[in-house]
Amino acid sequence: MAHISIENLTVEFAVFGANSRSLKNQILSQATGGRVMSGIRDVVTVRAIDGLNFEINDGDRVGLIGHNGSGKTTLLRVIAGIYKPSGGALTIEGRVGALLDPTAGMDAESTGIENIYLRGYMLGMGRREIASKLDEIADFAELGDFIELPMRTYSAGMFARLAFAVSTAAQKDILLIDEGIGAGDAGFRKKAQQRIESLFDRTPIVILASHSESLISEFCSRRVLMQHGVLQSAS
C-alpha cells in the first residue's frame, strides 16, 4: 500500500548574496577583520515550507494549488527526495516517480530510441523494462522512421510527443507531476488524455501541482491549498 505521511515538515533555504558565495571575498573579509566586505555572513533564511502536516493514502489524487512561490514545487521536490527537509518527518511507502521536468535526460544528438532509454533511466526504469515498452512508446509517439534519427532533426511537436510518451510509460506507486503534462496538436491531445487517464488509474497515489482549476477538478479527488509555505486548506 502506498502511503505518504508528512509531520511538521519544514524546509528552509539559505539565500546567499553574491558576496557570500565568493571564496575570495570571504578571505578578504577574514583578513581585514570584517572591515572590508562586511555583511558577508549575512545569509537570509527563507522558509519555503512551514510546519506542514498531511496524510496521503492509497487511491488519493491530490491537487496542489496556490500562488507562485507558495511552496508547491518545493513540496514535490521534498517528496521526490531531491530536497532534504530541515525539520519534521516524512515517511513514504512506495516507489516515487517524479515528472517535474518531462524532458530531463534527453539529448538532442542521440536518436529517438536512444532517448527512450535515456529518459527511461532517468525515470528509474531498468534496461529490460524499457526494452519491453520500447515498441509501445515508439508507436504512441507517432514518429515513424524518425525514431532512428537524432532528436535534433525533430520538430517541437515530435520532441514533445516523444518526451510525453516515455514519461507516461513509467509504473510507479507515487507519481509527482508539476504543472500538468500534455503534448501535441488537437488529434494527439485526445490520445494523450486517454494515456494520462490510464497512467492515473494504475498509479495508487498521484500528486499534481497546477494553476489550472479545470485540470485539478477533472483529475483530482483532493484539493490542497498552500500559501507562503503554510497549508491553508485541505479536503
Partner 1 sequence: MDTAGVPRRPAAVSTIGAWSVLADVVHGHNGRDLGYRVLESFPAGYPETLPYIATGIIFWGLLTGCINEGATVFISAEAFIRNVPTPLSLHFYRMMARNVMIWCFNMAIYVVILIYFELLPGWNMLLFIPGFLLFLINVAWISLAAGVLSTRDRDIPQIIANLIQVVFFLTPIFWSPANLPSRPAFVTLNPFYHLIEVVRAPLLGVAPPWMSWVLCMGMAVAGLGFTAYLYRRAHSRIAYWV
The footprint of partner 1 (CB under 8 A) covers 13-14, 21-26, 77, 80-84, 96, 98, 100-101, 103-110, 118, 122
Cβ pair 184, 14 in contact under 8 A? no
- Of 10 and 110, the one with the shorter C-beta distance to partner 1 is 110
Distance CA 174, CA 66 (A): 21
> Cell match 507519481: residue?
175
Q: Minimum distance from CB of 79 to partner 1 (Å)?
A: 9
- Of 107 and 197, the one with the shorter C-beta distance to partner 1 is 107
- Of 110 and 225, the one with the shorter C-beta distance to partner 1 is 110
Distance CA 62, CA 16 (A): 33
Q: Minimum distance from CB of 91 to partner 1 (Å)?
A: 17
H or E element, residue 79: helix 72-80
- Of 179 and 222, the one with the shorter C-beta distance to partner 1 is 179
Q: What is each CA distance from 143 to 49, 57, 117, 136, in whole angstroms?
A: 42, 38, 16, 12
Q: Minimum distance from CB of 82 to partner 1 (Å)?
A: 5
Q: Minimum distance from CB of 174 to partner 1 (Å)?
A: 11
- Of 122 and 230, the one with the shorter C-beta distance to partner 1 is 122
> Cell match 513509467: residue?
170
Cβ pair 146, 153 in contact under 8 A? yes
Report the candidate in 97, 102, 84 with the shortest Cα–Cα distance to residue 13.
84
H or E element, residue 190: helix 186-202
DSSP label of 230: E
Please calculate the CA angle 40-41-42 and round it to the nearest 5 degrees.
90
Q: Minimum distance from CB of 233 to partner 1 (Å)?
A: 28
The three three-digit cell numbers of residue 106, written as one number = 534527453
Q: Minimum distance from CB of 150 to partner 1 (Å)?
A: 10
- Of 109 and 135, the one with the shorter C-beta distance to partner 1 is 109
